[in-house]
Amino acid sequence: MTLTGSPSQAASDAAVEDFDSIKLYTLKNDQGMTVKVTNYGAIITSITVPDRDGNPGDVVLGYNNVEGYINAVDKPYFGAVVGRYGNRIAEGSFTLDGETYSLAVNNGENSLHGGIIGFDKVVWTVKSADDRSIELTYVAKDMEEGYPGNLDVSVTYTVTDENQLVIDYHATTDKATPVNLTQHTYFNLQGEGEGSILDHELMLNANEFTPVDQGLIPTGKTPNVEGTPFDFTSAKPIGRDIDDDHEQLTFGGGYDHNWVLNKSGEADAPTLAARVHDPASGRVLTVSTTEPGIQFYCGNFLDGRLQGKSGKTYGHRSGFCLETQHYPDSPNQPNFPSTILRPGDTYQTQTVFGFSTK
Ligand code: BGC
């Protein structure tokens, strides 16, 4: 990975002690798919897949140097693994086994994506890497960003000949702690920097979602999506209802919500969560996961100030994230599936991003 700019200035913003240890790795399959990954933030910097005519295109937003990621305006978390807790914890506080913990607060009064220096801003260790797969590990210390327990984390990215990117997450702890790991890649199936994603057609395999308050903290309710702009049970363009007069869309500035995934079959096998089709390029992204929820965020906070890896600016809603996860604020919401990992147990989840064309 090229390093430009001033590492010492960049280092003050992130937990980077040794810039020389930051490297870029390329995974590839026999079908021409390539995935680039850096051990800074376990970030996916590019995914190249063919369109319906066989032309390769890079379908994820990002930078071509590490300073881009470190210094990005508003910290969009392009391509990163977020943790220890992906999404928000209300007022950066939760009580576990009778003890109240105060987290680093970085989003109004709330804690977002693990705090000020989350897993997206640290240098991971490369445990193994070959053409097909890379395993990255990170040890988050007891009370890092306010979370209890030394947490051993491993994320493995693997490409298959079916044009899939398989992501396996593992974690163990020496004290009970909340854990919620996800991948924050922004996709644009037409190609990064190729404009808005509002014409992409999205299907979410979810009959319910978790509405939020103004700070984007779930209210605890899980209403049915039927008859609302949140109904993606049949594919529709992302932009079709996005500007409807609906309080939830006002709070999110568009879609920035968690959906409750419909589940059937084996709990530990990934099930279909989402499918996105870009009519222009013909590219299709299918997301499957073992997780119970998915955050669909459609780049509402992108505003054209960020310039990406090929020099194009990233405008409003020019990328979308499908973050497989447990529901936001679960440590404070007894009715949501638990995110607490205890010593002796293993956190183990899998998400698969599959690419095809039609
Ligand atoms: C959140 C957004 C946030 C974005 C940061 C998403 O996961 O839901 O509210 O602005 O991450 O890029």
Query: What is the pLDDT at residue 16?
Result: 74
Closest ligand 1 atom to Cα of 184: 7
Query: What is the pLDDT at residue 20?
Result: 85
Query: What is the pLDDT at residue 14?
Result: 55
Spot the catalytic one: 184, 200, 257, 326.
Answer: 184
Q: Shortest CA distance to 238 belongs to which of 288, 271, 195, 185?
A: 195
38 lines ligand 1 (CB under 6 A): no
Query: What is the pLDDT at residue 11?
Result: 41
145 is catalytic: no
Query: What is the pLDDT at residue 8?
Result: 38
What number of residues does the chain have? 358
Residues with Cβ < 8 Å from 143, sequence gap 6 or more? none
Residues with Cβ < 8 Å from 57, sequence gap 6 or more? 48, 49, 50, 51, 190, 191, 281, 283
Query: What is the pLDDT at residue 56?
Result: 97
297 lines ligand 1 (CB under 6 A): yes
Query: What is the pLDDT at residue 15?
Result: 62
Q: What is d(CA 283, CA 277) in angstroms, rounded to the nearest whole number? A: 6
Query: What is the pLDDT at residue 268?
Result: 80
Question: Which tokens is 208 given?
Answer: 């319910």
For each of the chain's 358 residues, which pLDDT tens digit applies?
Answer: 443 333 333 444 556 767 889 999 999 999 999 999 999 999 999 999 999 999 999 999 999 999 999 988 888 999 999 999 999 999 999 999 999 999 999 999 999 999 999 999 999 999 999 999 999 999 999 999 999 999 999 999 999 999 999 999 999 999 999 999 999 999 999 999 999 999 999 999 999 999 999 999 999 999 999 999 999 999 999 999 999 999 999 999 999 999 999 998 766 899 999 999 999 999 999 999 999 999 999 999 999 999 999 999 999 999 999 999 999 999 999 999 999 999 999 999 999 999 999 9
Burial of 98 (0-12, 13-18, 19+ CB in 10 A): exposed
194 lines ligand 1 (CB under 6 A): no
